[in-house]
Amino acid sequence: QVQLVESGGGLVQAGDFLRLSCTASRPSLISNYAMGWFRQAAGKEREFVAAINWSGSSVLYADSVKGRFTIARDDAKNSVYLEVDSLKSEDTAVYYCAATTLRRSQVWSLPHEYDYWGQGTQVTVSS
């Protein structure tokens, strides 16, 4: 069954603000798990974007997105969000959210450490 569902992607203009949402069908996947965002551009490997711990007190960003991307969570809505202050063409990719039981931030950037994945939402940035 689908545990995580991403939404908010689409065709956007460079410089736009974008908010991606990831909603869990099972509340515990949000409230008791660290949540991460990954992206995969066409022809490229999947890369880590950002992650946030169960309480929201610890956040990790990839160097490539630091300063423009913000990850946040709202357990009351069973959701985690990824916000971008200014989109660039290089942000074009399929964005995935994922959940991991591992609480150490050292592993959050590793895709294979995540237990649950959404199906992804396409973000296409035009210049």
pLDDT at 123 over 80: yes
Predicted pLDDT of residue 2: 45
Interval 51-91: pLDDT, tens: 999 888 999 999 999 899 999 998 888 899 999 999 999 99
- Name residues whose C-beta falls within 8 Å of residue 73's C-beta, 6 or more positions apart in sequence: 30, 35, 52, 56, 79, 80, 81
Interval 24-47: pLDDT, tens: 887 666 678 899 999 999 999 999
Average pLDDT in the chain: 92
